[in-house]
Amino acid sequence: MAEAMTPLHAMVASVPRGCGDLLARELQDFGALDVRERGNTVAFTGTLEVAYRACLESRVASRVLLEVLRFEAADDAAIYAALRGIDWRLHVDPANTLACEWSGRHPAIANTHYGTLRVKDAICDSLRESAGLRPDIATFEPGVRVHAHAVGTQVTVSLDLSGEGLHRRGWRGDTGEAPLRENLAAGILLRAGWPALAAAGASFLDPMCGAGTLVIEAARIAADIPANHRRRYFGFLAWRGHDAPLWSRLVAAGEARAIAGLAACEQRELRLIGRDVDRTVLREARLNAAHAGVASITAFDAGSLAEVSAHAAHGLLCTNPPWGLRLGDAAAATAVFRELGQVLRERFTGWEAAVLTGEASLGLELGLRAHRVHPLWNGALECRLLRIRVGSEALRDLRPKQGTQIDPALASSPGALMFANRIRKNLKQLAAWRKRDEVSCFRLYDADMPEYAFAIDVYESATTSQRWLVVQEYQAPAAIPEETVRKRRSEALAGLVEATGIPAEHVHLRTRRRIKRGEQYTKRDERGEFHVVAEGGLRFRVNFEDYLDTGLFLDHRLTRARLRTAAEGKRFLNVFAYTGTATVHAVAGGARASTTVDLSSTYLDWARANLELNGLAGPQHEFVRADVREWLDEAVRRGERYGLIFCDPPTFSNSKRMEGVFDVQRDHVTLLEACMALLERDGLLIFSTNAQRFRLDPALSSRYRVTEVTKATVPPDFSRNTSIHSCFELR
């Protein structure tokens, strides 16, 4: 059998971004050679044993692909010929099932669906000719899954040995998508140093455990249970090159490790604890732990964060607190992080903490300094893993002080004078445009000077002479000293007040990082103070204190104007409606009826108030509180039709009130297909997203008339940041 394992194969394994080095180390431990990390993939060579161990034991890998052929092909015909020339009898049983995938970009194939069909046709035609039979196509657990990837004219054809994502360990009882995939949870634990801590006898706690993903993965690491122990399906099991005796030996060795490791943990009376306020989700967590084989070393208790305390002198507190992107899940996020910080400071001295967040400003609310910050990606969303050694040396509060304190004496400092000059210059440049288009709410400054990293918006009252400044401070890199950050902030604020003449009490300051629209819907300490501003002859309620956003997205000013122009006589649909500003414009433009859909009752009340403020309310204008994706499916079944649709979804959402995880890059095709199913034949769908690196799937252009209107919808005051959003019209 040693000879059978001798041949080396070129392979590549995918991994969540930010965990590539962890996977590379795992593969080297498995015996892989020529290991090369490439972002979210790791290329390597190895024997079949290395591949099998990666599928069975890797805690962070997403998929493992074994290369079959790499070739150059200038056109569609050459791709088909090369694929058909492979002897697929060596890999595929024609009496079994097959799945195919195409990815990447080839000059002759822009549509991934078409590329997939060509791969399937070539394989099936080859097998029909050589074996007299072709396999059936199966999307669920196919016998063999073939993947073709193009980089220019170079095409790589591989077998997906994992068959489906390796994060699907098989222990999760819920078939829905989890906010945190198992392999990313394992990556977090490896980054946090949990294997060494567990070996040293440390305790483990997740005080907001949800369905228990972190607790269960931590327990399996502590017990040395292979990551995919007892998973029943892999993509190589029906592959004709499969070495069944080798696989059986590896599985048996993994079983022995699991039994011995679990017994050792039980003997040490190890208990990994998960807590949550939701008793329903805790029932799911207990079932998951039982399926994962770690029920004997885990415990799940109901309780609030305020009740959490350390159950040992030393351990790891690891958690993924709610930082959801829609109000309801995200409304209390700031308070949760503040409370977590207080609990850590008061009760967990001597512990390690690892806290994941997709909103960097929330990390500041902990009031603790992280000794390491690791970038990780949860799907398309960039997150930060904050690692904290809880103790006096970690105490550091970087939160902006409540209220905006401005020292008038700083107005004459060189930094303040320089900043004031830039503000005056911007005001002068925008003056003619603002007068011509009657713009009273606008972006004045957006990190024009890198050392003063702020986004500054001006709002003018529609009913009085009052003006306000909303100053958003982008979080400074950790390498910049706190004293420097505070000094620059003070200089900028002093120069801003001097240049604009707006009093300090009307300056509203908050700290945030550069983030996507989907991440902006976080509630702050509620005061309930609203003001009325104007746009295009219409009035809107704004709030400068209670939310990270004011209720009026200024970069969508021209998009709303397009909706207003197109709305005459149409039935209008606004999904992910936020405060309904698009609805107000459409109704003002003559929409005969409207439906406004959002998951938040607070935002829907705000939207109703905006419509009433303009004297446009009526029974023909409907407001619906619902998960947009579920509502769209139901509307399609009901046969609803709209002449004009506006869709501006969050970039990412893991709200517990939505089904699964929403990622606009991954899910926009399904979302837009549902919207287009509701569109009248001569109707118009306007789709916008603030995802910074968004790319519209070319498949949509093959089915609909798609026009990108991004340049036409970015207003002059955002000309310094033309990537603020992407906008498309679909017909």
Percent of the chain with pLDDT over 70: 91
> Is the CB of residue 332 less than 8 Å from the CB of residue 295?
no
3-state DSSP call for residue 456?
A: strand
> For residue 657, what pLDDT is reported?
40
Query: Can you give the pLDDT at residue 402?
Result: 46
- Check residue 630 and report its DSSP letter: H
Q: Does residue 717 carry a pLDDT above 60?
A: yes
pLDDT class for 651, splitting at 50, 70, 90?
A: confident
The residues spanned by each domain of the chain are: 182-219+267-394, 408-514, 542-730
Q: Does the pLDDT at position 341 exceed 80? A: yes
CATH superfamily of 408-514: RNA methyltransferase domain (HRMD) like (3.30.750.80)
Going by C-alpha positions, the residue among 360, 322, 325 that lies closest to residue 576 is 325
pLDDT at 659 over 50: no
Tell me phi and psi for residue 250, to 5 degrees. -65, -40
pLDDT exceeds 80 at position 3: no
pLDDT in the model for residue 449: 86
Report which of residues 480 and 606 the model is more confident about: 606
Is the separation of the CB atoms in 223 and 259 below 8 Å?
no
Per CATH, the homologous superfamily of domain 542-730 is Vaccinia Virus protein VP39 (3.40.50.150)
For residue 515, CA distances in Å to 354, 358, 549, 563, 650 come to: 22, 9, 12, 26, 11
Give the model confidence (pLDDT) of 82-135 as tens digits: 999 999 999 999 999 999 999 988 988 878 889 999 999 999 999 999 999 999
What pLDDT, on a 0 to 100 scale, did the predictor assign at position 484? 79
Superfamily designation of domain 182-219+267-394 = Vaccinia Virus protein VP39 (3.40.50.150)
440-456 pLDDT tens trace: 999 999 988 888 888 89
- Distances from the Cα of 161 to the Cαs of 50, 126, 365, 438, in angstroms? 12, 21, 44, 61
pLDDT at 116: 93
- Specify the pLDDT at position 24: 96
Do 408-514 and 542-730 agree at the fold level?
Answer: no
The 10s digit of each residue's pLDDT in 552-601 is 999 999 999 999 999 999 999 999 999 999 999 999 999 999 999 998 88
